[in-house]
């Protein structure tokens, strides 16, 4: 794996922390302050879907062979979740560029899309890492999760007085993945079939 490819992967993870976590947190508080139901609902859905991204980080810590597959699925689902809803999209069209919250949210949606595509392109350049994340050529994909591993390890030791190991991370990640999959299955067979592409953000009156 060449240096440029390694740098691209490292930068992608660093940028993702800002745009997949930092900015959504800011938008969540901003939408609460502005009492904007559409943005608040969009972010609420986004956070539920983005749990898979954090699960994928646990699997990367645990060096689960298919962790990179989960990472790509998570970013693709996050992209779908911010564009999918007809009622939210219609609401956004009613605002012009002078509304800073809506404009920032729109820019953020496009950024999430580009991050997702970037992850997919980088992953396709390293196809063997989809099933052999532990191979020497794929170690760069494991490095970005190392800081998270250290943080969780210290936190785990502080609260439980026990050592947080990679096998524990893998176990927790797989259990979380199972629960997540069951949750998605339940949602798709109940709410999705009932409401379709309507997020129902305005059920209690529009903002």
9-18: long-range pairs with CB below 8 Å, 24+: 9/122, 9/140, 9/141, 9/144, 10/140, 10/143, 10/144, 12/115, 12/118, 12/119, 12/122, 13/144, 14/144, 15/115, 16/75, 16/115, 16/119
162-166: long-range pairs with CB below 8 Å, 24+: 166/61, 166/62, 166/63
For residue 204, give both structure tokens. 């209690």
- 190-206 pLDDT, tens per residue? 988 888 999 988 765 44
Assign 1 a pLDDT band (cuts: 50, 70, 90).
low
Please report the pLDDT score of residue 6 as a whole number: 73
Task: Map out the domains of the chain as residue ranges.
Answer: 3-195
Please report the pLDDT score of residue 35 as a whole number: 93
Please report the pLDDT score of residue 205 as a whole number: 46
Average pLDDT for the chain? 88
- 44-88 pLDDT, tens per residue? 999 999 999 999 999 999 999 999 999 999 999 999 999 999 999
The answer on pLDDT for 207 being more than 60 is no
Q: Which residue has the higher pLDDT, 7 or 30?
A: 30
Please report the pLDDT score of residue 50 as a whole number: 94
Are the C-beta atoms of residues 91 and 38 closer than 8 Å to each other?
yes
Residue 135 DSSP symbol:
S
Please report the pLDDT score of residue 22 as a whole number: 93
Please report the pLDDT score of residue 142 as a whole number: 83
């Amino acid at each position: 794996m060449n240096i440029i490819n390694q740098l691209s992967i490292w930068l992608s993870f660093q940028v993702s922390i800002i745009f997949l976590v930092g900015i959504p947190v800011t938008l969540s508080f901003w939408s609460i302050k502005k009492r904007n139901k559409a943005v608040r609902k969009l972010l609420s859905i986004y956070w539920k879907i983005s749990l898979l991204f954090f699960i994928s980080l646990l699997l990367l810590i645990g060096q689960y062979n298919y962790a990179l597959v989960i990472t790509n699925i998570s970013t693709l689902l996050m992209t779908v979740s911010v564009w999918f809803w007809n009622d939210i999209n219609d609401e956004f069209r009613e605002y012009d560029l002078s509304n800073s919250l809506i404009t920032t949210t729109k820019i953020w949606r496009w950024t999430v899309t580009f991050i997702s595509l970037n992850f997919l392109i980088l992953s396709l350049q390293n196809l063997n890492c989809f099933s052999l994340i532990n191979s020497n050529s794929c170690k760069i994909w494991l490095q970005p999760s190392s800081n998270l591993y250290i943080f969780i390890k210290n936190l785990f030791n502080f609260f439980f007085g026990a050592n947080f190991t990679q096998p524990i991370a893998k176990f927790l990640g797989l259990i979380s993945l199972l629960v997540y999959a069951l949750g998605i299955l339940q949602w798709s067979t109940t709410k999705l079939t009932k409401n379709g592409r309507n997020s129902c953000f305005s059920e209690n009156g529009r903002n």
